[in-house]
Amino acid sequence: MKYLPIDSQLFVRNRKKFISEMKPNSLAVFNSNDIYPIGADSTMPFQQDRNIFYLSGVDQEESILVLFPDCSKENHREILFLRETNDHIAVWEGEKLTKEKALETSGIKTVYWLSEFERIFKELMSQSETVYINTNEHYRASIETQTREDRFNKWLKEKFPAHSVAKSNPILQRLRSVKDPIEIALIQEACDITEKAFRRVLGFVKPGVWEYEIEAEMMHEFLRNRSKGFAYTPIIASGNNANVLHYIENNKQCQDGDLILFDTAAEYANYSSDLSRTIPVNGKFTDRQKAVYNAVLRVKDEATKLLVPGTLWADYHVEVGKIMTSELLGLGLLDKADVQNENPDWPAYKKYFMHGTSHHMGLDTHDYGILTEPIKANMVFTVEPGIYIPDEGFGIRLEDDVVVQEKGEPLNLMKNIPIEAEEIEALMNS
């Protein structure tokens, strides 16, 4: 892995919290992701299942974690099963985890090779009553591919039909949404790498550059700072491209007078950052562009203050909508009649700001979190309002990542990344 070793106490604490929520005499199973094929002998780069990583720190394929806190054998209460490594694998694929390295990474003392899994798992299941399976129930999930976990769950239910089946997902939704200090430090590292890349492109952008060239500049900075790359598919949208919310082609030339909307950020150690900035191609905002820009910035700043413990998700977005409505009235994009006659299910401001303001962030860019429960301290959120005006040929989105505090305003993990219009102009023209 490119990233530096993570303190195994993070994973020890995560397992302890998960185990505390398990039913008596139950076990839980977590599998690594597959390596997905492209064609011929080509594969996609490996991405670890976030739940097994969260609970173990293991970041390689063909790994299984079993948790059985009530097992009569103390050494079988936490078990890792790994693909057995050998000299041939080391030569062709590189180093894999040894049993000793797995202990150092995860804090789990009992490590077996996968060849022993079925025998040992059968013994464990004979002692347990309930088995927790790992399922993806994120509110934005849209999955058409059968995963390794899906295949395992099907096998498990057929092999052990008399067991009660429970879901690990509700437990993990709550646990993963509240971040450990080590996790916050890892997200901060991803944000710091993103800062370096953004400052790099401020000195690179000028009329005539292509969106993909900017993407390449950012990727260069990510890789040289131990990141695997973008935390999500990058959006580098110049001119009217910014009005396509998920524009990812990044294949247009940037024209003098246009703005570029960036939604681009680095990952680090599987943890995401998520940044949006909007800059002028020629290094100077027009008066109209700056007026809209500053309106978006004010909405972001006011919205951030609302992210405090006890706030309800739905109420938060209603309040942000009121703030945005006021700004759109000030810009002349809405009038009082628009607001008075609005559809409550699709308020008037949605014409220019049609997406949500914030989402949980962590191991996934759109991370786990139950949206019907009150916000808690140490949750990490994006704050990303935008105003999109196709008739004027530009759109503006500004986004930072913040940590909810027990008291006071959230901690902005991107406070060092330039955002004031005047600072961006100064840096682009220095």
Q: Does the annotation mark 397 as catalytic? A: yes
Which of 21, 138, 366, 409 is catalytic? The answer is: 366
> Helix, strand, or coil here: 211?
helix
> Helix, strand, or coil here: 152?
helix
Which of 246, 287, 345, 391 is catalytic? The answer is: 246
Which of 34, 384, 401, 425 is catalytic? The answer is: 384
Q: Does the annotation mark 180 as catalytic? A: no
Q: Does the annotation mark 384 as catalytic? A: yes
Q: Does the annotation mark 317 as catalytic? A: no
Residue 340, burial from CB neighbour count under 10 angstroms (0-12, 13-18, 19+): exposed
Q: Does the annotation mark 246 as catalytic? A: yes
Which of 349, 367, 397, 401 is catalytic? The answer is: 397
Q: Does the annotation mark 388 as catalytic? A: yes
Which of 355, 373, 420, 423 is catalytic? The answer is: 355
Q: Does the annotation mark 263 as catalytic? A: yes
Q: Tokens 């690179």 belong to which residue?
A: 204
Alpha helices in 128-241 (DSSP H): 148-159, 169-177, 181-202, 211-223
Q: Which two tokens stand for residue 430?
A: 């220095």
Distances (CA, A) of 25 to 108, 126, 129, 164: 20, 11, 6, 11
Phi first, then psi: give them for residue 365, nearest 5 degrees.
-60, -45
Which of 15, 359, 364, 368 is catalytic? The answer is: 359
Q: Which two tokens stand for residue 158?
A: 């057929």
Q: Tokens 């102009």 belong to which residue?
A: 425
Q: Does the annotation mark 366 as catalytic? A: yes
Q: Does the annotation mark 422 as catalytic? A: no
Which of 149, 267, 274, 364 is catalytic? The answer is: 274
Would you list the DSSP string of 376-424?
Answer: -TTBEEEE--EEEEGGGTEEEE-BEEEE--SSSSPEETTTTS--SHHHH
Q: Which two tokens stand for residue 326?
A: 């006021």
Which of 61, 399, 401, 425 is catalytic? The answer is: 399
Which of 183, 263, 401, 425 is catalytic? The answer is: 263
Residue 334, amino acid: L
Which of 388, 400, 401, 425 is catalytic? The answer is: 388
Residues with catalytic roles: 41, 246, 263, 274, 355, 359, 366, 384, 388, 397, 399
